[in-house]
Structure 1
């Protein structure tokens, strides 16, 4: 039985966005750790179906760098209390909180930078 692709968008510090498949790893946690390059991660719920996964230790690193694009996206959704550091991964979740792949529209919005208005990404 083949796994369904769990399409996520990874945004690097330089703003480069790429689609990644989280289903290739043994667990969602392992996939997130690998994609971000960290030991500990946290999720920021941005919308009813949009999550941003970030390095939980990112701000404490000696060479910590703000991810300007991820922080801008988060602020567009009201997460204005802090900047976000390091690589960020965006996914969706179902009604029960289970991580699922992004819709084509959200994925395209993240890849093309159409994220300034929260109504664009649902």
Structure 2
């Protein structure tokens, strides 16, 4: 994971909060591990050069279902049930490098996280969460 600056602009999303943070570009792996709260993470790439760094074992290690993150993933084009905390960073699609989020990406993430999901997204969430009955019950109120 190569980076070009010392501080990468990122968004951290938990089950309850969305906040702006910086990731140490000199040691992105450790910095992401600390921000997510895990030893191993996976990358979920969504539309627009945006990557979600999520707890790779979140669904099996007792991490809480992350409804805001799951909804955000669906709004941004990826159907996934996500657990635990996440760090959202930019991605250079040509090189694969992890980079800072642009102002436009931050605005897109913030807007998508604050809006009520569309009926299409709610239908997709229902399909995705069919295997997770407790999580499915949570979205019934959306």
Same fold at TM > 0.5:
yes
1:86-101 map, 5 Å:
86-94=84-92, 95-101=94-100
Deviation at 1:76, TM superposition (A): 1.5
Deviation at 1:91, TM superposition (A): 0.5
Q: Secondary structure at the match of 1:61?
A: coil
Specify every segment of 5 or more residues in structure 1 that has no aligned partner in the other structure, as ranges.
118-122
Q: Which residue of 2 aligns with 1:51?
A: 51
Whether contact under 8 Å (1:18, 1:111) holds in the other structure is: no
Deviation at 1:4, TM superposition (A): 4.2
| Alignment of 1:17 onto 2:18 | yes
Deviation at 1:36, TM superposition (A): 0.3
Structure number with higher relative contact order (C-alpha < 8 Å, ≥ 6 residues apart)? 1
Q: Secondary structure at the match of 2:82?
A: coil
TM-score relative to the length of structure 2: 0.69
Higher helix share: 2
Q: Which residue of 2 aligns with 1:120?
A: none
TM-score relative to the length of structure 1: 0.80
Larger radius of gyration: 2
Q: Secondary structure at the match of 2:84?
A: coil
Whether contact under 8 Å (1:92, 1:101) holds in the other structure is: yes
1:77-92 map, 5 Å:
77-80=76-79, 82-92=80-90
1:87-116, Cα deviation, whole Å (9 max, x unpaired) = 011110112110000011221333453565
Deviation at 1:48, TM superposition (A): 3.9
Runs of 4+ off more than 3 Å: 114-117
Give the CA RMSD over aligned residues: 2.0
Deviation at 1:65, TM superposition (A): 1.3
Q: Which residue of 2 aligns with 1:110?
A: 109
Q: Size of the alignment, in residue pairs?
A: 111
Q: Secondary structure at the match of 1:57?
A: coil
Q: 1:74, 1:96 → 2: CA distance? A: 23
